[in-house]
Structures are given as structure tokens and as C-alpha cells.
Amino acid sequence: MGSVGESRWVDGSEVDSESPPWSLLDENDSRQGFGSMRRRLVKKPNKVNSFDVEAMEIAGAHHHHSKDLSVWKTLAMAFQTLGVVYGDLGTSPLYVFTDVFSKVPIKSEVDILGALSLVIYTISLIPLAKYVFVVLKANDNGEGTSMVIGDGILTPAMSVMSAVSGLQGEISWFGTNAVVVVSIIILVGLFSIQQFGTGKVGFLFAPVLGLWFFSLGSIGIYNLVKHDISVIRALNPAYIYFFFKKNSGAAWSALGGCVLCITGAEAMFADLGHFCVESIQIAFTCVVFPCLLLAYMGQASYLMKYPDSASRIFYDSIPESLFWPVFVIATLAAMIASQAMISATFSCVKQAMSLGCFPRLKIVHTSRKLMGQIYIPVINYFLMIMCIVVVSIFRRTTDIANAYGIAEVGVMIVSTTLVTLVMLLIWKTNLFLALCFPLVFGSVELVYLSAVLSKIKEGGWLPLVFATFFLCVMYTWNYGSVLKYQSEVREKISMDFMLELGSTLGTVRVPGIGLLYNELVQGIPSIFGQFLLSLPAIHSTIVFVCIKYVPVPLKRKGFFSVEFVRRTTIYSNVLPDTVTKMSGR
């Protein structure tokens, strides 16, 4: 070929003439020596390429996403969050006081009021003050960050078993084995419907959770009015001091059960890609928070009159005529509670993959409008198998609760650390204010950590095993990926060298196009040199394909799969004389 090469995008549009990506050669230039060629082959810096433009458009779309939503759409999305985000947090009244008073027997009203005060201020401090008003602002184009894969395994097991165990006190022959079998059947059904997508599951589950929160608030009010409304004294934090003064070491151990009142709260920012910030904030402040407070106050009111009911407080505090309707709703709510952490796990795995820290898996996008609504089949079935194993081995909610507490506190501490870094490095917050955040929240979380770590031998080892396993997988994948890329960069072949050797290789050119995948955005990969040495002929046009991820949802066969925008470098007729290079997407 004797014509001068040109630079175009694959779609046919011309590259900005003021900043051409490459200076190209013609036949006459090839006779003028390699010094001239090197000068002509030097890549000139681009001002803005198509990836920059597309990335800015997508980032802008995310940035204004919440502003573009109407009030009704925001409220509708807030309703959906009840079924996806707040299921786990909403089912915590099933087991919190049961676990707390298994460590601290009720001997006086101080025990009840102190435990209630601990629950009230734990919910107010961590989910409300920390997550709703601070952590939700630390997002990257609609993604939050968290370490919740372990919770994605423990949440379904804990929630479902807690709900099903209510039958043990109502049906005489319903024992532990029956609880395990029924729980496993429910878990299999739960994970089987994940493929339909977060949006559909949210609309399916949200009415049930809405009814569940209404039930919690209504029953709480009923118990307050009927038994002992004076438990509102627990709003005075002094009862926390009295609780620890009276019970000392036992009260410290009970913190492991108290922290269960905020299980699943991290789903607020882990599921942020599925919903907008405003919808999550509205749902929590207007529905979840007040209903949970009423539920715990109602249970405490019942315990003031019937302290022996601590082991089965949730179901005992329900009016007898409403037991079966509430049991059905509680079981459905427990299933839905698992949805929050399953969706959060999908989000975390996707984020790890985008950072090159997790093996590449198939991701199915289930929404055209919301980028974060995804489904990962491999992770879904892995979680299902692990949940079944946990239920089969532990068989009791008490041991699972010990494991659950460690996972929950670990997530809280990690989120506090990361948000502090965001405050300092991204938001440029005043140093004093930035340090107040870990000082206030971190100190509380460290106290909880000291309590739950004492339960390592009693089931607390489980989340540590899961964390170690995933850490090894992520570290190994990232380490290998970095080594692979460094090797390709170090061993890439220069264009000058290819031109110098082109006429001496004697390689036969055949019509057609050859595709060669590599990680290099620019340059010729070393593997191409192996092809030239091993193969007697190559195609007349060689395309070096480098895939970079741009988050654009694309509908495929009923679902929305991610569309990979391919940036290609095309060297046409590399051998022997001239070079035509085309950059594209």
C-alpha cells in the first residue's frame, strides 16, 4: 500500500485534526531512515478522546439522576426499598431481645429499660446518624462500598430460622429438625427468584414489608397502651449506665445481642446502586425508624409484665387472635430480609470486579434505567449453598447470632474507616470535624467489637473463615492481574522494531482480518511476535482488541446485560512497508 494512512474511529467519524493520535508513514518516508520514522511515530497527546466524552456523559447522567426523578417516582422507589433494602433491619425484632436476655436474665426493670435504651440509641446512632446522614453521601456514581458478602450468607439463615422457630411454641411436635427442613425449603425458593431482578422483586416484596412494618408499629402501640407505657423512660440514656452498673460483665456480653438490632443496616449504602439516595433516606426516616422503635418499646412493655417470656418475646407479645396472620407475614418478611443482603452482595462483587479484585463473572443487568440493579448467577447459587450449609450445621439461631454479630461490627468499622478517608481526601473536610467522625462512631463500634469477639468459639469463627476465603480469592486475582499487565507493558514490541524487521521475516500476507486480544491500550503485545515467529502467514489486517468497561446497560433476551465498549487498535499491513493505524471503540 502506498497511500498515506488515516486516523478514524470505527464508527467512521474523523479524529480531531489538531491532535491526531499518531503520525503515520507512507512509502517515501520509509526510505528516509529510522530517526525520521521515530519522530513521525511519536504519539502526540490527545486533548479528549471518545472514552473521556462518553465517561463524562455517563458520570453526568448519574450525577443528575436523583434530580431528574419526580416526587412520585422518588416515593415509588422509596416504597421499593422496603422490600429490598430494609428487610433485614425490619426483621431484627424477631430475635434481638431473645438473644440479649439469654445473657442477662431479667431480675428488675433496670434490665429491661437498660436493654431498651441500648437498642434505641444504637439504632439512632448507627443507621440514622451515621448511615443516613453521612455514609450515603460517600458514593461514586451511585455505588456505595462495603464488605457484606459474609452477611449475604448469614442473613438468610438467621432471618428465616428466627421466623420459622415461632412454630416450636405453637405446635408441640414441631422440633429443631422441622425448623431446619422448612428453613432450607424457604431458602431454596428465595434464591430461585433472584433471577427476575431487583425491580420486580422489590415491587413483589415491598407490599409485604409495608404490611410487616405496619404490624410492628401497631403491635408495639397495642403493647405500650395495654401493659406499661412507662417504658418510654428508656429514652433517658442514663439507663444504659444503670444497666452496666448492675450487670457488669454480663451486660458487656449482652452487647453482642444488642448489635443485632441494626443487622442489615449496611444494605442502605451497599444497595445504593439499586436506588437513589433520597428514596433510601425517606423510607428509613418516615417508616422504618419509627416502626422499629415502637416494636422494641412494645416488647419491653410486655416484658415488664411478663419477664419470663424473654425467650419467645416476639410471638408471645402478639395478641392470640393475630398469631397466625403475623406468623405468615413474619415468615415472608424473613425471606425478604435476605433479599437486602443478597442484592448488596451482588453490588459488592460487581464493584470488586470493576477494580480488578475479583474473577470475572457473568453479570445480568435487570434494569434499563438503574445501572446498579444486577444479578450474578454464580454468586447467587454460591450463597444459596452456603446458607443451607450454615442452617444444617448450626441448627440454632443463637450460634448464628454470634457469627452474625462479628460480621455486622466488622462492616461498621470498615465503613467508618473508609468514610473518614473520603472526608479527608475527597471532601476536604476540616481536620477536626473529619476526626470527630471516627472518634464518635468508631469508639462505639470498638466497644461492640470487644463484646462480639468473645463469641469466636461459639460460632463467631464463621464470618472470619468467609472473610479469609474471599480475601485470598480477591488478593490472588488482583496480584495475578497486575503481574500479567506489567508483563505485557514491559515486553510490548515497539513499532520501530516491527518496521525494521518487517521486510526480513518473509511472512506471507493473506486476505482477511485477524483479531488479537490484549490488555494494552497502546502498543503491540509481545504475543504478536510469537505469532510471527511461529506462523508462516498472517492476515493482511491485524486488529489488537483491548476491552475497557463503560457502564451502559443493554437489553438482551429479556434481561439487560452489560455492553462492553471495545477500544481497538488496528494495524493494517504492518508488514513490510507501511502502517495504517485506526483507533476506535
Cα(450)–Cα(508) distance, integer angstroms: 71
- Buried residues in 23-38 as b, exposed as e (16+ CB within 10 A): bbbeeebbeeeeeebe
pLDDT of residue 562: 40
Count of structural domains within the chain:
2
Q: Cell 485477524 appears where? A: 514
Pairing of strands 537-556, 508-517: parallel
Cα(248)–Cα(237) distance, integer angstroms: 17
- Buried residues in 284-297 as b, exposed as e (16+ CB within 10 A): beebbbebbbbbbb
Residue 408 lies in a domain: no
Residue 469 lies in a domain: no
Q: Looking at the structure, tell me whether residues 260 and 386 fall in a common domain.
A: yes
Residue 523 lies in a domain: yes
Which backbone phi and psi does 399 adopt, to 5 degrees? -70, -40
Residue 552 lies in a domain: yes
CA–CA distances in Å: residue 443 to residues 265, 315, 432, 459: 18, 35, 16, 25
Residue 241 lies in a domain: yes
Cα(574)–Cα(356) distance, integer angstroms: 32
pLDDT of residue 361: 87
Q: Looking at the structure, tell me whether residues 328 and 205 fall in a common domain.
A: yes
Q: Looking at the structure, tell me whether residues 378 and 502 fall in a common domain.
A: no
Return the half-sphere exposure (C-beta side, CA atoms, 13 A cut-off) of residue 204.
13
pLDDT of residue 96: 92
CA–CA distances in Å: residue 179 to residues 153, 167, 277, 491: 18, 8, 38, 60
Give the CA diameter of the chain.
Answer: 100
Last residue of a domain, one of 398, 420, 448: 398
Judge whether 33 and 567 are in contact, CB under 8 Å.
no
Cα(350)–Cα(378) distance, integer angstroms: 12
Residue 211 lies in a domain: yes
The torsion region of residue 513 among left (phi > 0), alpha (psi -120 to 50) and beta comes to beta
Which residue type occupies 343? S
Residue 190 lies in a domain: yes
**Per-residue cell: 17:** 485534526
Q: Looking at the structure, tell me whether residues 521 and 391 fall in a common domain.
A: no
21: number of Cβ within 10 Å:
18
- CA-wise closest residue to 91 among 215, 203, 200: 215
Which residue type occupies 71? V
In a structure prediction context, what are the per-residue pLDDT tens digits for the chain, which is 585 residues long?
333 333 333 334 443 433 333 333 344 443 444 344 344 334 344 444 444 444 444 444 444 444 456 788 888 888 888 877 887 888 899 889 998 998 899 999 999 999 999 999 999 999 999 988 888 887 765 557 455 566 677 878 888 888 888 887 778 788 888 888 988 998 888 888 777 776 666 667 788 889 999 999 999 999 999 999 999 999 999 999 999 999 988 898 888 889 989 987 877 776 676 678 888 899 999 999 999 999 999 999 999 999 998 988 999 999 988 999 999 998 888 877 777 677 778 878 887 887 778 888 888 877 776 666 788 889 888 888 988 988 888 887 777 887 878 888 888 888 898 889 889 988 888 889 889 999 999 999 999 988 888 888 877 788 888 888 888 888 898 898 888 888 888 888 877 777 776 666 667 888 888 888 777 777 788 888 777 777 788 888 888 887 766 655 544 444 333 444 444 444 444 444 433 333 343
Cα(368)–Cα(561) distance, integer angstroms: 9
Judge whether 406 and 412 are in contact, CB under 8 Å.
no
pLDDT of residue 474: 87
**Per-residue cell: 92:** 431484627
Return the half-sphere exposure (C-beta side, CA atoms, 13 A cut-off) of residue 279.
28
pTM: 0.71
Kind and range of the H or E run holding 254:
helix 249-258
**Per-residue cell: 304:** 415488664
Last residue of a domain, one of 370, 398, 426: 398
Residue 193 lies in a domain: yes
DSSP category for residue 123: H
Helix, strand, coil percentages (3-state) for the chain, rounded to 5, are 65, 10, 25
Return the half-sphere exposure (C-beta side, CA atoms, 13 A cut-off) of residue 562.
21
Which residue type occupies 321? S
**Per-residue cell: 1:** 500500500
Interacting residues of 55 by C-beta distance below 8 A, sequence separation 6+: 550
Q: Looking at the structure, tell me whether residues 378 and 497 fall in a common domain.
A: no
Burial class of residue 54 (count of CB atoms within 10 Å of its CB; 0-12, 13-18, 19+): middle
Cα(139)–Cα(264) distance, integer angstroms: 18
Cα(94)–Cα(413) distance, integer angstroms: 25
Strands (DSSP E) found in 341-385: 364-365, 374-375
pLDDT of residue 297: 96
Cα pseudo-dihedral 417, 422, 425, 426, rounded to 10: 180
Q: Looking at the structure, tell me whether residues 394 and 497 fall in a common domain.
A: no
**Per-residue cell: 518:** 490484549
- Structural domain boundaries, residue 551: 492-561
399: number of Cβ within 10 Å:
17
Strands (DSSP E) found in 264-310: none
Cα(467)–Cα(113) distance, integer angstroms: 36
Interacting residues of 395 by C-beta distance below 8 A, sequence separation 6+: 176, 179, 180
Q: Looking at the structure, tell me whether residues 166 and 295 fall in a common domain.
A: yes
